[in-house]
Amino acid sequence: MELLLPYLEPDGFKQGLMKDYRFCDKDFLNSTVLEMPEDLGTGKLILFNKRNFHFFRGTWNFHEETIFHSPHKVGDNGMMDFRINKEGKISSNFINNEKEFEHNTTDIDGVRIFVPKSLFPKDNGLLKEKLENAQRNYMSQDKLKTIFDTPFDDASCSIILESRILEFLSYWIHYLLSDEKTFEHKKAFEDKIKLAKDFVDTNAFQALAIREISRYCGLNSSDLKKGFKDYTQLPIHQYIIKARMETARSMLLETEKSVGEISDFIGYNNRGHFSQLYLRHFGKLPSEERL
């Protein structure tokens, strides 16, 4: 089967899916959900159309092998394309100097983003190098993971999905426009923050001092605290408490260990202190979890 659609025009893309391939549409705020007819396959996509750029998130599976073609040539309408799959691989026909849009679209779980090419330098060689380097950047991959972890079972999910794609796009554009040395310095900092998080995850049930984590990851305490909170959305102390409480809850529900044993295991010798933290975190006491 061949899918022929105007790739770089969101309205034409939407109308083509509806008119030529019988997709059903449902508008919600600034998004449109397009659902595949059952005789073609299963799946849907959510399309977001902005003033001078657009993007969509989709997952679908055609019953037969399907090749996508577009009457648009790569770079038409002044647009640059990005294709992102669930594994975090990012590709671009424009950056790879391809002339035609032709992809196997039989089974897709991905994101497509279209932005003005005028935003970026004309040196595609430099952009291609940055594109390859970005595959190793965990911050980029972490932001992509939040996109793919966001459900889009119905249109109401689109608000969260849109915000997460825009967050990634902001980071992504900043990276492509940044000086490579500046970005590499930032990447080295991010790697140290990830090292700190891994260390905390491994030792969350032990008494951890900030200076100990700082020495381990090679950052001063001020940079460590700020970077850790930016990455995890929690201060280090709160992150440790959260990890301990979630482990305690799993043990209460899945083991026969007493509250006291669990309290000791996760690093609290004072059972009363543990119980108050648990109450604050889950709205009930540990002793009430098994009732």
pLDDT by position in tens, the chain (length 291): 999 999 999 999 999 999 999 999 988 888 899 999 999 999 999 999 998 899 999 999 999 999 999 999 999 999 999 999 988 888 899 988 899 999 999 999 999 999 998 887 666 667 777 777 666 666 677 888 899 999 877 667 788 999 999 988 888 787 777 765 555 567 778 888 999 999 999 999 999 999 999 989 888 899 899 999 999 999 999 999 999 999 999 999 999 999 999 999 999 999 999 999 999 999 999 999 877
Beta pairing, strands 54-62 & 67-73: unpaired
d(CA 135, CA 79) in angstroms, rounded, equals 22
87 contact partners, CB below 8 Å, separation of at least 6: none
Half-sphere exposure of 200 (CA within 13 A, CB side): 28
Question: Between the CA of residue 90 and those of 67, 130, 161, what are the distances in Å?
Answer: 19, 11, 18
Domains of the chain, residue spans: 2-178, 183-233, 238-288
Q: For position 195, what pLDDT does the model report?
A: 92
Question: Between the CA of residue 285 and those of 130, 174, 224, 247, 289, what are the distances in Å?
Answer: 51, 46, 33, 15, 7
Class of 238-288 in CATH: mainly alpha
Residue 168 DSSP label? H
User: The pTM is what?
Assistant: 0.62
